Structure 1
Amino acid sequence: MHSNLLIFIWRRKLSFLLLASGLVLLALWTWAILIDTTKTTLPTLAQSQLQQQQQQSAPSSETSYQHVHIIQKLIAQANRVLRAERQKDNADRSPPSPAQRLLGNVRFVRPTQAKKAPLPLAESFLFEQERLKILEQQQRQRNAGMEELNANAEDDRMLSSAERQTQYEHELQRMGVPAVAGIGPDGPRAPTERLVHLDLKGAPPKLSFLKQLLPVLRALGATGLLIEYEDMFPYSGALQPLAAHNAYKESELKDFLESAWVEHGLSIMPLVQTFGHLEYTLKLQEFEQLRELPESPQSICPSRPQSMALLEQMLTQVIELHMRPSANATPSTPELPIKFTHLHIGCDEVQRMGECSLCRQRLRSEIFLTHVISLAHFVRRRWPQLSVVIWDDQLRAMTLSELQNSQIGSYVEPMVWVYANDIYHFIQPQLWDTYAKVFASAWTASAYKGAFGESLLVPPLQQHLENNIRWLAVIAKEGGRFAKGLRGLALTGWQRYDHFAVLCELLPVGMPSLMTSLSTVSKGYFSTNPRDNDLLRVLRCVFQPDSRRSGHPWLELHPNAHHSQLFAVCSYPGHLVFKYAFRLYDKLSEVSVYLQQARDHSAWLSDYNVRHNFSSPLRVHELTVRTPQLIEELRGMARESQQLLWEVYDEHTVAEFVEQHIYPSINALHRQLASGQMLLQRRTWPQRPLPISLELRQDMGLITLEQQQQQHPH
């Protein structure tokens, strides 16, 4: 019987332990209540009891604190035991033991939920204080975080402007973005007008593509377009020969211009060359007699009356198209609804001026100023609401008295252009002072492509960005000289250096450079914060910047780098052409190195080997084994270019691009392959020394020993 009792007790040991713990807990509660009730009569509020306990002697407070601490530990232990037992009961699905029924209510997290009579005031106060301590600790943690943020913000506010600029320039250095003194978040304001130049004399994009580009330009801060039509303008009548066969149609061009202003708020400034860069006009037989020099169609002779008549007709057709009613015109708005306030008449890089028989008796400065003023007077007389703009380079060598005496400042506004990084090397402070004394206002011009190489495939983005940032500093410094300030900045993007040149960087390939520079000049500085910089949003980049984790900035630009990896994960208009251009660039570089290695650095496929048909067949085979593969790869890239470029350009531009960039490399590979096959066909070779080639004798004047003996017999 005793053994059975022991076994029963052993099996129910946990229940007995819980029962014993509960009894001890009840005894301690009773003891604590008796002590507290004998010491003082508690007020109705728990906060009053706390104040009275603080007024008692120190030993009594310490004793009470010890009691509270012990009770808290017992409560925690009892709750842990209860949770364990309940989990076991749920698993066994057995009815609760007497100890569990006894301790089932020992969960004093929220005393107000007790189903029985409320706890005595002392017990309520005890557990309420425990909850308040937890809430107080959580609040302290939140306050600590806010204090840290406030402290950082206060530190930023306490930094001087120079210290903030130093931090900003340090971040620019990490990103590879050029830093210019004084240009930053605390620097000068952005230029009022930001024009994007569209050069249509080479690779003219489809107007449908340019329409897709308009919202992007506007979102990045552009205020207008500077459109250089050249032979893409739909000239008519006697001027019809000036228009290219693939020139824009008048109705389509009007629709594009209307969309630019009505839908996107972009003003229009047409650019019509009227002195130099008139190759597209003077190359034609009909206008050959108007050249300054018969052998060069670059510039027109301003002394011939027919020259001014031709230029006035050209300007009239361009201006009237921009003012002529469109298909959507109404009686209340009879004119084309665009913002058209300035006309650019070019006049840059006038070569060989004043050399014909009619101009030779006059000074070059007089010829230029008279011609420009005559054109401006014609425009202002017929369209007084228009202001006339010219490039400034022909004015730089003129004296202040020449400019003032001509009164050119009353007729035109100069657009000062420099594409290099050292702007003051070309436009020195004294020249700015001269311009300010002659002109009430002026424009400036930077570049986003077409300025660092006549036939580049990809623009150097970092160099163009630095050019634009340095222009911001110059505008801020020199704008105050002019009575009406500097009107704004035009970001030029040349497509050819002139009418006879091959293509520069295509517009889609230059888009990252354009967008980076445009967003910078529109803000007045390059924003290093990706959430404050519009590039990621407008370019629709899937890249998520997190410099804290990766340690790398969200945009990395370095000298001699064409682009950042950021632009490879974006989806802006023309992004597929941009990515294709880099793959083509890498492939062309690979082919160039391959050909140079075989021709110039190897000893078996040089021009000498080919001229004498003398080489090692094994070596020649090794040097030409990859040539057919490279030819096929380039042909594949040519086919791909047709598919990608067709979205932006017509077939003429696609063919010109392939012929300029891909076809020469394919031809070079074919020539190398033909030379190798010729060398491989030979099976026997002559004794050395090899005979001197006839070409070498004739071209270099080399003579043989026999000829020397004949000339000098003794």
Structure 2
Amino acid sequence: MIALNMFPRRNARVITGISFLVIAGLMLYKTVGPLDGTKNPEAVHVPRARSESGNLLTQSPQHLKKQKEYESLILANIQKMTAHRAMERRMNHDPVGVMLHKKPSLLEGLGRVRDMQEQTKSAVQKSVVSENQLNHKIVHLDLKGAPPKVEYYKKLFPLLHSFGATGLLMEYEDMFPYWGKLEFISAHNAYAKGDIADIIELAKKCNLIVIPLIQTFGHMEHVLKLKEFAELREVPNYPQVVCPTNNKTLPLIKLMIDQVLQLHPGIDWVHIGSDEVYNLGECTRCQQYLLHHQFSKNDLFLNHVVSVAKYVKGNYDVQPIMWDDEFRKIPLRALQDSKVGEVLEIMVWKYSSGIMVDLRSDIWEKFSSVFGGIWIASAFKGAANPDSYITNINDRLTNHKEWMEIYDMYKSSIPFRGIVLTGWQRFDHFGVLCELLPQAIPSLAVNLMYINERKADHGALVRVGDILKCSSFINLDLQYLEYANTCDFPGSAFYEVTQKLYILKRDINNMMKNHHVTGWVSDYNIEHSFVSPQHAEQGLQDLTMLLFDYGKVMNEAETALSDVFDEHTVKEWIMFNVKPTHSKLQKLHASVNKLQKLKEWPRRPLDSTENKEL
């Protein structure tokens, strides 16, 4: 995952950049051909096939016709999208936030007038908006190692429905209550079977469909870390990827699927993971299998996922979905020969900016010709840094804006099922906690609002603030966060805590970078009791206050987290995100207080034996 740019781009530049990139992509397609393993004979000399009439062909007439249709469609969509953006654009940049419940400035007042004018648009214009809607807007709940309390879902699910969400993608991982031979997979603080039933019932009451996610290839650390299943690793020292040729692998995966689907009756979809399958085909068994069957690693991958998908579809009449990243590098012919599209739907994910560059038209053409159902996946949190504890909404909004541009461009030719707004709580099973769910509710609200209305202007943000019952300011960019906003939504106390913590850590960092500290109160100075009292007073004049405020926020964090998570999650988050800095401040405060009592200092060199004896 890659952190996004801090500043949003101007809409006009976005459209111009998109037009250039897509047209350049089409020119590249004509020059070097699609990037699915084939080449274009117009650019590179390759042996040419003969048609039944004996004429030499560079490509089949059907392929050429389809290519031209695709190019025309893309260019037409670009023109429509450019016109639409030009009409809707009222400001030359995105806001960094919105003030709530105060007398508006002249600029804000003009914005509200424009918002009122927009509300009076004709029914024809409203029907255009409805045509832009995705059927499903699914919120991903990443639960691994940090399960929210069931009581929290009772408050959260109605709010998600009010934002326009239509379902949940539940990534249980070790939080699922496996039993029998699989009981060791579940964490000690996993949900009980009754909890799963309650969660499903709560979702049903709020008209939210549930899609469980089961890892079946990559990211199986929660299973393969255990000694009971260590023999199934593709690489003995790495517990990420399961060996697809081990005779015990499929029985294990099928049993996991059986137990998860048993507790999720009547569902329509199940996600079978399979992203980031590193170290594929590296074990001795897989190498021998590839040699014996004359398979490539792509064949090995497809053989496994098709087997899993067939089991799901054939035994439960449930449609499996998979992440798309491994399919991007597999040639079209290999996908068609495997018939993977007959049993799988695909979920195309990209959480950073530059979607148009990374997911070019040839990839969409390949996917649309193979899969009957295509999902897209954005991120409303947890896609910046693995140790991040607070979400920068502007980055997430940029990601969703780009995805909606992709959707507008291809919706007439690609069978999009819906969008999943992912919210990662750890980068993987071994990762630390990142951007916990409650503090990212404003980000989720803003981005769902944008998906539904294609707006992130003043009026839209005010409506979000009203729904979240925020009292002052909704911040979109952490660079401009000056004070913590107070809201009243499920988990809002923790949202406030993370803002306070961010501001305090920034103030502490500024203090420690002050030249009075870096030049005269360094660790070296402290260790050798050679600190300038005057510089210590000037550089660390706010130390006592910051230490007090930090201790207060640490206590507030424990209380706020306890409303949502169990004690284990609370301890882990505080241990990683709060205590190290608090301990450092306490140690510095004690050292400086002691050193400021000194009235005499040693001669140099400071590391001499004489000084050490003193």
Name the TM tier (shorter chain). 0.7 to 0.9
| Aligned equivalent of 2:498, options 581, 586, 590 | 581
Identify the residue that residue 509 of structure 2 maps to in structure 1: 592
Unaligned runs of 5+ in 1: 1-159, 178-183, 324-338, 544-554, 694-714
Instruction: Give the secondary structure class of the aligned counterpart of 1:481.
Output: coil
Whole-angstrom CA distance in 1 between matches of 2:551 and 2:475: 32
Identify the residue that residue 444 of structure 2 maps to in structure 1: 514
Question: 1:484-503 counterparts in 2 under 5 A?
Answer: 485-503=415-433
Identify the residue that residue 196 of structure 1 maps to in structure 2: 139
Measured after TM superposition, the shift of residue 393 of structure 1 is 0.5
| Aligned equivalent of 2:569, options 634, 639, 653 | 653
CA offsets per residue over residues 125-159 of structure 1, 9 Å max, x none? Answer: xxxxxxxxxxxxxxxxxxxxxxxxxxxxxxxxxxx
Instruction: Give the secondary structure class of the aligned counterpart of 2:248.
Output: helix
Measured after TM superposition, the shift of residue 688 of structure 1 is 3.7
Instruction: Give the secondary structure class of the aligned counterpart of 2:286.
Output: coil
* Identical-residue share of aligned pairs (%): 35
| Aligned equivalent of 1:607, options 515, 520, 523 | 523
Identify the residue that residue 230 of structure 1 maps to in structure 2: 173
Question: 1:55-70 counterparts in 2 under 5 A?
Answer: none
Amino acid at match of 1:520: Y
CA offsets per residue over residues 521-557 of structure 1, 9 Å max, x none? Answer: 133x1165848985355324567xxxxxxxxxxx976
Q: Is contact 1:175-1:556 (8 Å) kept?
A: no
Identify the residue that residue 372 of structure 1 maps to in structure 2: 305
Cα distance, 1:640–1:533 mapped onto 2, change above 3 Å: closer
CA offsets per residue over residues 28-73 of structure 1, 9 Å max, x none? Answer: xxxxxxxxxxxxxxxxxxxxxxxxxxxxxxxxxxxxxxxxxxxxxx
Identify the residue that residue 401 of structure 2 maps to in structure 1: 469
Identify the residue that residue 445 of structure 1 maps to in structure 2: 377
Q: Is contact 2:176-2:190 (8 Å) kept?
A: yes
Cα distance, 1:414–1:476 mapped onto 2, change above 3 Å: same
Q: Is contact 1:220-1:534 (8 Å) kept?
A: no
Question: 1:292-303 counterparts in 2 under 5 A?
Answer: 292-303=234-245
Identify the residue that residue 268 of structure 2 maps to in structure 1: 341
Cα distance, 1:164–1:348 mapped onto 2, change above 3 Å: closer
Cα distance, 1:645–1:559 mapped onto 2, change above 3 Å: closer
Instruction: Give the secondary structure class of the aligned counterpart of 1:393.
Output: coil
Unaligned runs of 5+ in 2: 1-79, 98-124, 291-295, 610-614
Q: Is contact 1:175-1:557 (8 Å) kept?
A: no
Whole-angstrom CA distance in 2 between matches of 1:388 and 1:564: 46
Matched pairs, number: 495
Whole-angstrom CA distance in 1 between matches of 2:136 and 2:344: 17
Whole-angstrom CA distance in 1 between matches of 2:579 and 2:530: 29
Identify the residue that residue 428 of structure 1 maps to in structure 2: 360
Whole-angstrom CA distance in 1 between matches of 2:262 and 2:476: 46
Amino acid at match of 1:513: S
Measured after TM superposition, the shift of residue 664 of structure 1 is 0.8
Measured after TM superposition, the shift of residue 684 of structure 1 is 5.2
Identify the residue that residue 173 of structure 1 maps to in structure 2: 93
Q: Is contact 2:512-2:518 (8 Å) kept?
A: no
Measured after TM superposition, the shift of residue 254 of structure 1 is 0.3
Measured after TM superposition, the shift of residue 355 of structure 1 is 1.4
Cα distance, 1:164–1:583 mapped onto 2, change above 3 Å: same
Measured after TM superposition, the shift of residue 592 of structure 1 is 2.4
Q: Is contact 1:292-1:352 (8 Å) kept?
A: yes
CA offsets per residue over residues 150-173 of structure 1, 9 Å max, x none? Answer: xxxxxxxxxx99887535211473
Amino acid at match of 2:370: V
| Aligned equivalent of 2:194, options 239, 246, 251 | 251
CA offsets per residue over residues 540-577 of structure 1, 9 Å max, x none? Answer: 4567xxxxxxxxxxx97665557799x93542222222
| Aligned equivalent of 1:310, options 252, 259, 263 | 252
Cα distance, 1:476–1:165 mapped onto 2, change above 3 Å: closer
CA offsets per residue over residues 421-458 of structure 1, 9 Å max, x none? Answer: 22122211111111111112211001100011212122
Q: Is contact 1:274-1:346 (8 Å) kept?
A: yes
CA offsets per residue over residues 332-389 of structure 1, 9 Å max, x none? Answer: xxxxxxx5100000001112222111123433212211110111111112112x0000
Q: Is contact 1:458-1:581 (8 Å) kept?
A: yes
Measured after TM superposition, the shift of residue 650 of structure 1 is 1.2
Amino acid at match of 2:166: T
Identify the residue that residue 539 of structure 1 maps to in structure 2: 468
Asked if residue 274 in structure 1 is aligned to residue 207 in structure 2, the reply is no
Measured after TM superposition, the shift of residue 672 of structure 1 is 2.5
CA offsets per residue over residues 495-521 of structure 1, 9 Å max, x none? Answer: 000111111111111001101111221
Identify the residue that residue 40 of structure 1 maps to in structure 2: none
CA offsets per residue over residues 636-668 of structure 1, 9 Å max, x none? Answer: 222111222211111111111111111010122
Identify the residue that residue 392 of structure 1 maps to in structure 2: 324
Identify the residue that residue 345 of structure 2 maps to in structure 1: 413
Whole-angstrom CA distance in 2 between matches of 1:359 and 1:268: 35
Structure with greater contact order relative to length (CA < 8 Å, sep ≥ 6): 2
Cα distance, 1:636–1:533 mapped onto 2, change above 3 Å: closer
Cα distance, 1:542–1:608 mapped onto 2, change above 3 Å: closer
Measured after TM superposition, the shift of residue 690 of structure 1 is 4.9
Whole-angstrom CA distance in 2 between matches of 1:283 and 1:360: 23
Given the two structures, how large is their TM-score scaled by the length of structure 1? Answer: 0.64
Q: Is contact 2:517-2:536 (8 Å) kept?
A: no
Instruction: Give the secondary structure class of the aligned counterpart of 1:397.
Output: coil
Cα distance, 1:442–1:639 mapped onto 2, change above 3 Å: same
Amino acid at match of 2:369: K
Whole-angstrom CA distance in 2 between matches of 1:370 and 1:163: 45
Amino acid at match of 2:422: T
Whole-angstrom CA distance in 2 between matches of 1:531 and 1:603: 48
Which protein shows a greater Rg? Answer: 1
Whole-angstrom CA distance in 1 between matches of 2:542 and 2:316: 65
Whole-angstrom CA distance in 2 between matches of 1:314 and 1:675: 55
CA offsets per residue over residues 563-597 of structure 1, 9 Å max, x none? Answer: 799x9354222222212211121112222222343
| Aligned equivalent of 1:382, options 311, 315, 321 | 315
Identify the residue that residue 669 of structure 1 maps to in structure 2: 585
Q: Is contact 2:81-2:409 (8 Å) kept?
A: no
Q: Is contact 1:460-1:562 (8 Å) kept?
A: no
Instruction: Give the secondary structure class of the aligned counterpart of 1:514.
Output: helix
Measured after TM superposition, the shift of residue 685 of structure 1 is 4.5
Cα distance, 1:218–1:360 mapped onto 2, change above 3 Å: same
Amino acid at match of 1:253: I
Amino acid at match of 2:277: V
Instruction: Give the secondary structure class of the aligned counterpart of 1:488.
Output: strand
CA offsets per residue over residues 403-438 of structure 1, 9 Å max, x none? Answer: 111111111111000112221222111111111111
Measured after TM superposition, the shift of residue 322 of structure 1 is 0.7
Whole-angstrom CA distance in 2 between matches of 1:260 and 1:409: 30
Asked if residue 242 in structure 1 is aligned to residue 159 in structure 2, the reply is no
Given the two structures, how large is their TM-score scaled by the length of structure 2? Answer: 0.74
Amino acid at match of 2:464: L
Whole-angstrom CA distance in 1 between matches of 2:96 and 2:568: 38
Cα distance, 1:532–1:455 mapped onto 2, change above 3 Å: closer
Q: Is contact 1:290-1:300 (8 Å) kept?
A: yes
Q: Is contact 1:557-1:564 (8 Å) kept?
A: no
Whole-angstrom CA distance in 1 between matches of 2:235 and 2:548: 47
Q: Is contact 1:539-1:571 (8 Å) kept?
A: yes
Cα distance, 1:439–1:611 mapped onto 2, change above 3 Å: same
Whole-angstrom CA distance in 1 between matches of 2:514 and 2:146: 34
